[in-house]
Chains A and B, each alone.
Chain A
Amino acid sequence: MQREQALQLVYDAIDVINRQLPASRRLAKSPDTVIVGPAGVLDSLGIVNFVVTLEERAGDVLNGPVMLLDSTALADEHTPLQTVGTLASFLETLEPS
Chain B
Amino acid sequence: MMVMELNLIMVSTLSMILFVIGVYGLVSKRNLLRLIFSIEIMINAATLNFVAFAAYLGSSMSVAQIAGVIIIALAAAEAAAGLSLILEAHRLRKDVVVDQLREMKG
Q: Do A and B bind each other?
A: no
